[in-house]
Amino acid sequence: MRFHYLVPLSLAAGLAIWLGVGDSGETVAPPMMELAATDQAITPIPDQLALDARKVALGRRLFHDKRLSRDDSVSCATCHRPDRAGADGLPVAVGIQGQRGKLNTPTVFNSGFNFRQFWDGRVPSLEEQVPGPVHNPVEMATDWKHVIAKLKQDPAYPEMFRAIWPDGITEVHIQGAIAEFERGLLTPDAPFDHYLQGKAQALSRDARQGWDLFRNLGCIACHQGVNVGGNMYANLGVMGDFFADRGRPLTDADLGRFKVTSREEDRHVFKVPSLRNVERTAPYFHDGSVPSLNKAVELMARYQLGIHLSDTDTRDLVAFLTSLNGRLPETGK
């Protein structure tokens, strides 16, 4: 069966409403697509958003505060490093006492544009994402009762919270402040954004050829919108068995959406990652098993599109992806 979809001229950020809707009401990727793609399938990152400056300042402080972990050794910024484009540069996340997780850390930059959070998309908002690492026994391994008790001992926090919320420090307000800060971690001014804004010379010849390939090969079926991804789910291994060929045993981290829905059709289905700043966020895939962007491009072409790329095509696609590197935000305390 072949699917035919049309990318509208103005694609709303964070939504893939033209790409099909599953039984759960969430967007999914059909196995094959043809799209009449235009440049407007991707829209530029905005320079800024209308955010509450008080919440942003508080969220910044909390984002860097290691007291959000049980032993005061790990903060949000430990795994979402500004010098690693909001990721950590490791195959999988490392939490308290050097414990290793099972999933690659996604970038926090531009994460407010994602339609769901986490690889399996189990929560819809940044606010609901915050408790995940706090409660995870491998990451921060604590609970809100202990976190709040420590924050109340800091002379600055009670006043900062009460200036925004009369009831002061609560778990909901901690989540709200961190989420507001994270929404402001934008990376505008990528060369490709300038190209979309009419500056043709913002892209190199290789990058322009890569952009043509990105559309013509069908990559844009899953990677579009303001975040060039992050707005739908897709099966990893549409045109081949990635997991059988990977050469390592399956773990529960490989189950993807199946862990959330228990539906067989969601096995190995993941939220499509954003490609913003992807050249800066190696290693790749949910398991961090792919060390280079060239290799990631080759594997995506093979397992999602069923094609083998020439060295020239791989080079051009990587050049286009590198043009998605934007201006990194200031994340200091």
Which residue matches tokens 């303001």?
226
Amino acid letter, 77: A
The first and second tokens of residue 187, run together, are 């990376």
Catalytic: 128?
no
Q: What is the 3-state secondary structure (H, E, C) of 8-53?
A: CCCCCCCCCHHHCECCCCCEECCCCCCECCCHHHCCCCCCCCCCCH
Say how many C-beta atoms besides its own lie within 10 A of residue 74's C-beta: 25
Q: Which residues contact 56 (CB under 8 A, 6 or more apart)?
A: 177, 180, 181, 184
Q: Pick from 274, 199, 290, 196: which is nearest to 231 by CA?
A: 274
Q: Which element (helix H / strand E) includes 299? A: helix 293-300
Which of these is catalytic: 26, 34, 128, 139?
139
Active site amino acids: 139
